[in-house]
Structure 1
Amino acid sequence: MTDHPYSALTPDRILDAIEALGFHCDGRVTALNSYENRVLQVGIEDATPLIAKFYRPNRWSIEQIQEEHDFCAELAAAEFPLVAPMMLPTGSSLHQDGEFTLAMFTRFGGHAPELDNLDTIELLGRTLGRLHATSQQKDFQYRPHIDIQSYGTDSRTFLLENDFIPTSLKEAYDSLTRDILSVIQQRFDACHYTSTRLHGDCHPGNILWRDDKAVFVDFDDCRMGPAIQDLWMLLSGDRQDQMMQLEALLEGYEMFCDFDDAQLVLIEPLRTLRMMHYAAWVARRWQDPAFPKAFPWFNTERYWAEHILDLREQFAMLQEAPLTRISGNM
């Protein structure tokens, strides 16, 4: 048996855990595209299949996972479109099976939104405005913040101390990321924002588009942070394209929630922190056999050379003026 968090999560263990909740499985189990947790489609006798999510042990505390579920329930009560955890026959949305915390979800189909359509982006802005109008009503007590320390400094330290970066590139990464974090710190210090509860990982893959509506999934990374964190990943293309998208996004967003334009200065810092955090995330999970299979290019000199080049480009972006609204409404 290999020494990784999911070595004990055998097919029999999966089915036993789900049937212990009162569901009658038909034996069909299909792994879905998830690496941090184990997410599976499970066949149910004479019923629609369900989605089972086994949280990675020791990543979040029970209090933090419960807070995620409570946030989802709060959003659902406000009629926000999301796939929320099911309330189980036990009366809770969480079930503990040994070292594993299990949640169940209804199956929902859809595709990623078309971000080259400004009408779609405006609708996404309205939807995120509704999300934040609800999320601003209180704060998380247990979930962490999106910040420079956890996303940037800790990621940098882990990579430098654990021999993932080739020796020939380590000095370049060391000096470059030191300079990057210094500039990012200046940007954050200059932006006095109010943190709010966030989806936290609001990329198009976590938005299911169906019947001209957006339905949000996977609140596993929900945290406290600046509202712009849930918006910037919907922007793409060159500067002019992004400004047009930003205009449409905020036009929709402000139908439901105010937005502080001072946060626009954080777009490139947050993008850069996400890049650093992503590289460290894969490195931290490298002993999980799913990761070398999914990311075979990661532990190569070519990857790190390209990663450092991407960070150099981001360092240049950090020197440029932040995005603004085309309307100039600041």
Structure 2
Amino acid sequence: MESSSHPYADLSPVAVLEAVESLGFETDARIFPLNSYENRVYQVGLIGKPSIIVKFYRPGRWTTAQILEEHSYTLELVELEIPVVPPIAFGSAGTLLGYKNFQFSVFEQFLGRPPELDNLDNLLVMGRFVGRIHAVGALRDFEHRVELTVERLAVHSRQFLLENNFLPKDLRPAYESLSQDLIDKIQQRFSAHGELRKLRIHGDCHPGNVLWKDETPNFVDFDDTVMGPGIQDLWMMLSGDRNQRQAQLLELVEGYNEFYDFRASELELIESLRTLRLMHYSAWLARRWEDPAFPMSFPWFNTERYWAEHILELREQFSLLDEPALRLI
């Protein structure tokens, strides 16, 4: 049972229905939790109408200004007919609504299938739409959203894990030294690159946040939108061995360049960005470990085996950081 101090302790099924009905909807009492851990997201059935998606933001994660800036960006994209799924606006109440101690938003239910990224033609199309998103993202900066930085994703992650004693004693020295070596090397890579062109990006553009329909990728969940380099929204679409990733990259960039100028120099940062994501992911799980949904959904986390494998993964990344970057050939 959730403790009363847990941020979602009071978000019962009844509270979810009451929040939806406060907007004038007539629900049929069907609630299906969706695969979301950072926030709480539900599909809610309506009488005589299609179901809606209701997202309750994790209290304290983002400020109101940061959430509204996310919403504003997605609506800006929609106005230019870029296929994203934005929150629904409710008159003067806008897109960010309140119920008791929760902030929530409502989305139309959008049905699509996962993108088939082993199809190079699909990657060409994906590149075009990411390029369109970035062309809009470059028009102005966020005022309230955070930036993608080594400090936030790696330094703070390492600090949290060590200060809160998540590492087993016999593995702590290995993690402590390796993680610092990785941070030093990544900072060197970013310094060697020089000034980054940062723009408004999706921030978490992996295939799970793309729904394919009618030969078009539709982008969902801008919860992690940040100021960052464009390559961050592209590298997670690459998979397989080096030759496969090289071929995939060429298709992505060809489509991307039709709408926005790709910076080839950012290819040098792919493995650094992958390492930042790995380090941040472990710390994210640790930060949320008191949320009862996390031990139930990630029972393998915070075991000695997990940390041993994580250290091995980081060692592999340390070697990959010295490998030649992919090239536009």
TM-score w.r.t. structure 1 length?
0.97
Residue of structure 1 in register with 2:219 after alignment = 216
Structure 2: gaps of 5 or more residues:
none
2-structure distance, mates of 1:114, 1:14:
34
- Listed as ranges, the matches of 1:306-325 within 5 Å are 306-325=309-328
Query: How far does the alpha carbon of each residue in 1:117-139 deviate from its partner, in whole angstroms, 9 at most, with x for none?
Result: 11111110001000001110000
Residue 194 of structure 1 pairs with residue 197 of structure 2: yes
Contact 1:53–1:102 at 8 Å: present in 2 too?
yes
Secondary structure of 1:319's counterpart equals coil
Q: 1:140 offset after TM fit, Å?
A: 0.3
Q: Which residue of 2 aligns with 1:87?
A: 89
Matching residue of 1:298: 301
Where in structure 2 are the equivalents of 1:1-330 lying within 5 Å? 2=3, 3-191=5-193, 192-325=195-328, 327=329
Letter in 2 for 1:310: E
Question: In the alignment, residue 80 of structure 1 is paired with which amino acid?
Answer: I
Partner of 1:85, secondary structure, is coil
Q: Which sections of structure 1, spanning at least 5 residues, go unmatched?
A: none
**RMSD value over aligned CA atoms?**
0.9
Structure 1 residue 213: Cα displacement? 1.1
Distance 2:120 2:196 in 1: 27
**Post-superposition CA distance 1:21-51 (Å, at most 9, x none):** 1111111111000000000000111100000
Deviations 1:213-236 (A, max 9, x none): 100000000000111000100011
Please give the alpha-carbon distance, in whole angstroms, between the structure 1 residues aligned to 2:231 and 2:302: 32
Letter aligned with residue 239 of structure 2 = S
> Per-residue deviation at 1:99?
2.1
Aligned-pair CA distance for 1:90: 4.4
Give the AA of the match of 2:64. Answer: I
Which amino acid in structure 2 is aligned with residue 282 of structure 1? L
Spell out structure 1 runs of 4+ moving beyond 6 A.
Answer: none
Map Cα deviations across residues 241-294 of structure 1 (whole Å, 9 max, x no partner): 111111010000000000111111110000000000000000000000000000
Instruction: Quote the Cα distance in structure 2 between the aligned partners of 1:118 and 1:125.
Output: 11
Aligned residues with identical type, % of pairs: 53
Q: Which amino acid aligns with 1:30?
A: F
CA–CA distance in 1 between the matches of 2:238 and 2:160? 29
| Contact 1:236/1:242 (8 A) holds in 2 | yes
CA contact (8 A) 1:39 1:51 kept: yes
* Paired residue secondary structure (1:30): strand
Question: What are the superposed Cα offsets for residues 90-142 of structure 1, whole Å, 9 maximum, x if unpaired?
Answer: 44011012321110000011121111111111110001000001110000000
Q: 1:164 deviation in Å?
A: 1.2
Q: Quote how far apart the aligned CAs of 1:72 are.
A: 0.5
Q: Compute the displacement of 1:89 (Å).
A: 4.4
String of CA shifts for 1:127-161, please: whole Å, max 9, x gaps: 10000011100000000001100100000000111
Q: State how far apart, in whole Å, the 2-side matches of 1:291 and 1:122 are.
A: 36
TM-score, structure 2 normalization: 0.98
My pick for the range that moved more, 1-10 or 100-109, is: 1-10
